[in-house]
A and B are shown apart, each in its own frame.
Chain A
Amino acid sequence: MSITYLEAIREAQARALADDPRVYIYGQDVGAFGGAFKATKNLAVEFPGRVLDAPISEDAIVGSAIGAAIEGMRPIIEIQYADFSTVGFNQIVNNAATLFWRTQVKCPIVFRLPSGGTPGSGPFHSQSMEALYATYPGLIVMTPATVEDAYSMLLEAVEIDDPVVFCEHKYLYYHLKAEQLPTEAMPTGKARIARPGRDATVVTYSAMVHEALAMAEGLAREGIEIEVVDLRSIKPLDTDTVLASVARTGRLLAVGEAWPWGGVTAEVVARVACDGYNLLDAAPMRLNAKDTPIPFHPNLWGTHRPTAQTIARAVKDLLRR
């Protein structure tokens, strides 16, 4: 038996609903239909009255979750595509994220954001919003790259007393599989060494972890050993694990699927430059998507975002520096 990344998300929600009567799911098409990606398949039947269809009103969807959280509920909000979270952005960053600081009332909400690109999805169904949310205080931003993390981090997100932006990657939904659901998990806030190596460190997260691993496997055949760090959550960002890896390798490439201006890769490089300057044997590098809207056609899309091939090229540049 095997389980996909998407099924793990569905199972985590089923377990959260079963374990805690305060949990409910609210979002567009999540009820009888089971969600645009079927992440809530059958949950409306298994948990009557607790998996609710919402109107196409991201602002009101998020606002209502805040009110419910104030009343002691623990909403899971499915935003149909991460891209549409811009419509609920104000409520997430100005209302949910400020509530605890301003009033000392906790705001436990999970915002599930189906994120990132897939072939043919185009400019408005492909975005990576994580850095936007990470810049605001009061939010936790998770970016699981594995089936195990998708499951255990989502369960942890539901238990956290603060708003969590859960960026699940659509590219991993169907083809990423594990043998079984995990029984234990790394805590949120800890990065993972996805592959050890001695020659350079590639720090990344979400779907790019798999591009980086494919790159590392390819380079290993050439005798180059790349360490891949999976950040798992980008806020908090596990600076210590990144620095420890750079201390071992002396070289850093930060890779992200998001756009190049600012963002997670810039943050990683800035932290290493400020705190680990003497650990570096060469200037660090960043590899991101191109600075255009995300293209629709697979030929263009495959070049717009980093891939194992472009990461490998960047790593070879890094090793020549």
Chain B
Amino acid sequence: MMREQYLTAYRWMLLARISEEKYASLYRAGKIYGGVFVGKGQEAISAATALALRKGDIFAPLIRDQAGRLAFGESLLDATRTYLGSRLGPMRGRDGNVHRGRPRDGYMAMVSHLGSMISVVSGALMARRSKGETGAIGAVSMGEGGTSTGAFHEALNQAAVEKLPLVVVVTNNQYAYSTPTARQFACGNLADRAVGYGIEGYTLERGNDLAACLDVIGLAAERARAGRGPQMVVASTLRLSGHGEHDDGHYVLDALKRSATGADCMKVTEQFILDEGLGTAAELEHWRADAVRQVEEAVATAQREPAPDPDTEDWCALSTRFLGDTYDGGCH
């Protein structure tokens, strides 16, 4: 584990944490339409996933991946624009918050139906292979709740059959909305499922330990790139928020909050930086101030940008415009 990589990851985590705290406060102030879903407690896993990827790779993040999205190359302004509904953002006000992406750049725009994006990444990898383009891998984020879907199962099996260079990172954050793991699955360890699919699996007990995340997810990515087929990492941590900002998460057990799983990855990481001499308290303070400045700038910019305009909006869902069914019910 190299100092530079660790600190790079930490700074993406920090920018994610601070930007999402800002979005949450804007939400409470009524400045954001729709929901805000934060990755608090999952930043280490998310950043490590994106940092295992290179230019030209494919990434399908999920709702708690602000850190990974930024680390993969999304601009903070694009993220902020999507929350604030700017017409200049990648979704132009047509879709919001976590449903953003730039698929042409390998950055997939998730739909809400869990498990659906895994096979999309697989298809992109199949296309690369058929075009003779090698070397790229794909990574998909999933929660432990998403592993209960048929889509997840179908996609893992399909990826294994096709021996695709795919890394699936399952973050077990102990709750799917309000549902605890005991009501979600009955197997002892979700990573055991890898055996059933015929792929390699990894258990990452301390998903709030950035060094462990970088090591394990990095190894999985390396093996996928080396042609060993799909890899599944199951990382444990605790969601340190409600499901979204509308939810106070009162059902999260105190015992979990006090456990090692419940430790905040930001604090763990900062302590590690100080203990290992990777950075000083003054540097930590400086990086934090820098992140705050970036966030303030992005919010100020996005807030000045135009909202979508229903009168000039192109109300055609097809790219083949002349095949649009333009019937208006007689309401000319």
Complexed CA–CA distance, A275 and B27 (Å): 45
Q: Hey, which bits of chain B sit against chain A, CB under 8 A?
A: 90-91, 94-95, 99, 101-104, 108-109, 111-113, 115-128, 130-131, 150-151, 154-155, 157-158, 161, 317-320, 322-327, 329-330
Q: Which residues of B contact A66 (CB under 8 A)?
A: 119-120, 123
Complexed CA–CA distance, A61 and B155 (Å): 8
Our pick among A24, A69, A94, A189 for the contact of B116 (Cβ within 8 Å) is A94
Contact with B along A288-321 (1 / 0, CB 8 A): 0000000000000000000000000000000000
Establish whether residues A71 and B122, one from each chain, have CB atoms under 8 Å apart when the complex forms. no
Instruction: Determine, out of A101-109, A210-218, A219-227, A249-257, the stretch whose residues face the partner at the interface.
Output: A101-109
Closest to A189 in B: B323
**DSSP majority for the A interface?**
helix
Our pick among B131, B157, B161, B329 for the contact of A274 (Cβ within 8 Å) is B329
Q: A67-B125, A100-B317, A101-B317 are in contact. Are A237 and B325 (CB under 8 A)?
A: yes
Establish whether residues A160 and B320, one from each chain, have CB atoms under 8 Å apart when the complex forms. yes
Nearest 8 A/B pairs, CB to CB: A67-B123, A63-B119, A64-B123, A71-B127, A67-B124, A57-B154, A274-B330, A60-B154
15 pairs from A and B in contact (CB 8 Å cutoff): A50-B130, A55-B161, A57-B158, A59-B119, A64-B120, A64-B123, A67-B127, A71-B128, A91-B151, A94-B116, A99-B103, A138-B318, A235-B325, A239-B327, A271-B327
Establish whether residues B91 and A102, one from each chain, have CB atoms under 8 Å apart when the complex forms. yes
Our pick among A60, A97, A98, A100 for the contact of B151 (Cβ within 8 Å) is A60
Q: Which residues of A contact B130 (CB under 8 A)?
A: 24, 49-50, 73
Asked if A178 lies at the interface with its beta carbon under 8 angstroms from chain B, I say no
Complexed CA–CA distance, A57 and B162 (Å): 13
Our pick among B109, B125, B128, B150 for the contact of A102 (Cβ within 8 Å) is B109
Closest to A238 in B: B325
Asked if A68 lies at the interface with its beta carbon under 8 angstroms from chain B, I say yes
Tell me the chain A residues, 77-106 only, with Cβ under 8 Å from chain B.
87, 90-91, 94-95, 97-103, 105-106
Q: Which residues of B contact A67 (CB under 8 A)?
A: 108, 119-127
- Give the most central of B95, B99, B111, B330: most A CB within 10 Å: B111
Establish whether residues A100 and B318, one from each chain, have CB atoms under 8 Å apart when the complex forms. yes
Closest to A56 in B: B154
Q: Which residues of B contact A236 (CB under 8 A)?
A: 323-326
Q: A101-B317, A162-B318 are in contact. Are A60 and B157 (CB under 8 A)?
A: yes
Establish whether residues A59 and B323, one from each chain, have CB atoms under 8 Å apart when the complex forms. no
Complexed CA–CA distance, A275 and B331 (Å): 9
Q: A161-B320, A236-B325 are in contact. Are A102 and B99 (CB under 8 A)?
A: yes
- Interchain nearest-CB distance for A190 vs B (Å): 11
Complexed CA–CA distance, A59 and B159 (Å): 13
- Interchain nearest-CB distance for A156 vs B (Å): 10
- Give the most central of A60, A70, A71: most B CB within 10 Å: A60
Complexed CA–CA distance, A235 and B320 (Å): 13
Asked if A188 lies at the interface with its beta carbon under 8 angstroms from chain B, I say yes
Complexed CA–CA distance, A58 and B150 (Å): 10
Complexed CA–CA distance, A258 and B112 (Å): 30
Asked if A8 lies at the interface with its beta carbon under 8 angstroms from chain B, I say no
Our pick among B123, B151, B319, B329 for the contact of A162 (Cβ within 8 Å) is B319
Asked if A123 lies at the interface with its beta carbon under 8 angstroms from chain B, I say no
Establish whether residues B120 and A94, one from each chain, have CB atoms under 8 Å apart when the complex forms. no
- Interchain nearest-CB distance for A74 vs B (Å): 10
Asked if A137 lies at the interface with its beta carbon under 8 angstroms from chain B, I say yes
Tell me the chain A residues, 243-283 only, with Cβ under 8 Å from chain B.
270-271, 274-275
Our pick among A64, A73, A97 for the contact of B317 (Cβ within 8 Å) is A97
Q: A54-B158, A60-B122 are in contact. Are A188 and B103 (CB under 8 A)?
A: no
Q: Which residues of B contact A62 (CB under 8 A)?
A: 119
Establish whether residues A106 and B154, one from each chain, have CB atoms under 8 Å apart when the complex forms. no
Q: Which residues of B contact A69 (CB under 8 A)?
A: 123
Establish whether residues A90 and B125, one from each chain, have CB atoms under 8 Å apart when the complex forms. no
Q: Which residues of B contact A161 (CB under 8 A)?
A: 319-320
- Give the most central of A24, A70, A90: most B CB within 10 Å: A70
Q: Which residues of A contact B117 (CB under 8 A)?
A: 63
- Interchain nearest-CB distance for A4 vs B (Å): 28
- Give the most central of B99, B101, B112, B154: most A CB within 10 Å: B154
Q: Which residues of B contact A188 (CB under 8 A)?
A: 323
- Give the most central of A58, A71, A100, A188: most B CB within 10 Å: A71
Besides A57-B155, A60-B158, A63-B119, 4 more A-B contacts (Cβ < 8 Å) are A59-B119, A162-B320, A162-B323, A189-B323
